[in-house]
Amino acid sequence: MEKLDRLGWAEGIGVRAFGVHAGVRVSTAGVLPQVLPLLPPGCMKSRRATVQRLYSLVIAEGSQRAGVRRMHILYADSSRIARDTELGHVLAALETDLHRYIAEASPEMTFLHAGVVGWQGRAILLPGRSLSGKTTLVRELLRLGATYYSDEFAVVDDSGKVHPFTRPLGIREDSTYAQTKYTAETLGATSGIKPLPLGVVVICKYKAGARWKPALLSNGQGALELMANSIAVRNHPHQTLQRIQKLTAGTVFVKGTRGEANESAEPILNLNLLHRSNRGEKA
């Protein structure tokens, strides 16, 4: 770390997000504006002298020549986490690692790997591993009028409410798994601002040609599924289980395999109505 500290740093920024302090410094002036859009939603500038995680981005200087590959290098504290000739790739690595670190270290919130939309005052959670089709389903739910909360993390507070994490949707469009980013607004949807109580949790995986016939899960089974998609359960099991317990009170859990998103999206929105009628609320 001392060696890194001795390098000349042109500019930097300290941020606080969900109770985590992080910093980013860059070796070349003028790069920081490219970093700012990658910071997590809801983060604020922080002037704290010490941070929990410090990113150091060393920009390759000089022109690219034949036979010489000049790499941009990214460090998280003293560990090198990315190096690439494309600055965009290194910045994407910074975004991914920073968001994951905050999700892992936040003392204020529990982060679940899930897509989230708001519908009639309740959150619909779509937990699932990578490539299970969360973002595709979120996009379809937005098309039907749902409010965008996240395509990556459900952020849960102590009272069991779900907060927005409205980073642009990363839609994978080809077999290389590359993502194209779209804001909810460019897709004709609106982004949520207020934390919402949970209505429905839909655990599903895409399978071509499958029919959407979900099975109801018990609260215990549902909580187990949420545990299996929580970022920090290994580090903070007590806190994670406590928040999951709050989250599951009165929640409807369903699990199944879905085919195309446009066939399952509407029934999913209707599940939220089922939840409301179960609780005796007016639709």
Q: Provide the total of helices (H) and of strands (E) in the chain, helices listed first.
A: 7, 16
- Per CB under 8 A, 207 contacts other proteins: no
Minimum CB separation from other proteins for residue 30, in Å? 22
> Contact with other proteins (CB under 8 A): which of 78, 159, 218, 277?
218
Torsion of CA 270, 273, 275, 277, to 10 degrees: -140
> Contact with other proteins (CB under 8 A): which of 31, 32, 53, 100?
100
What type of residue sits at position 12? G
* Contacts of residue 278, Cβ cutoff 8 Å, sequence gap at least 6: 250, 252
Distance CA 64, CA 60 (A): 9
Minimum CB separation from other proteins for residue 92, in Å? 7
Of 179 and 190, CB closest to other proteins = 179
> Contact with other proteins (CB under 8 A): which of 179, 190, 191, 257?
179
Please tell me what DSSP assigns to residue 250. Answer: T
Of 120 and 179, CB closest to other proteins = 179
List 26's β-bridge partners, or say none.
11, 57
- Per CB under 8 A, 84 contacts other proteins: yes
- Per CB under 8 A, 95 contacts other proteins: no
Of 210 and 227, CB closest to other proteins = 227
- Per CB under 8 A, 152 contacts other proteins: yes
Of 63 and 79, CB closest to other proteins = 79
Q: List the structure tokens of 5.
A: 């500290």
Q: Cβ atoms within 10 A of the Cβ of 73, count?
A: 16
Burial 107-142 (b: 16+ CB within 10 A, else e): eebbbbbbbbbbbbebbbbbbbeeebbbbbbbbbbb
Of 99 and 269, CB closest to other proteins = 99
Which residues contact other proteins by CB under 8 A?
A: 74, 79-84, 89-90, 92-93, 96, 99-100, 103-104, 113, 129-131, 152, 170, 172, 176-179, 218-221, 223-225, 227-235, 237-238, 241-242, 244-245, 248
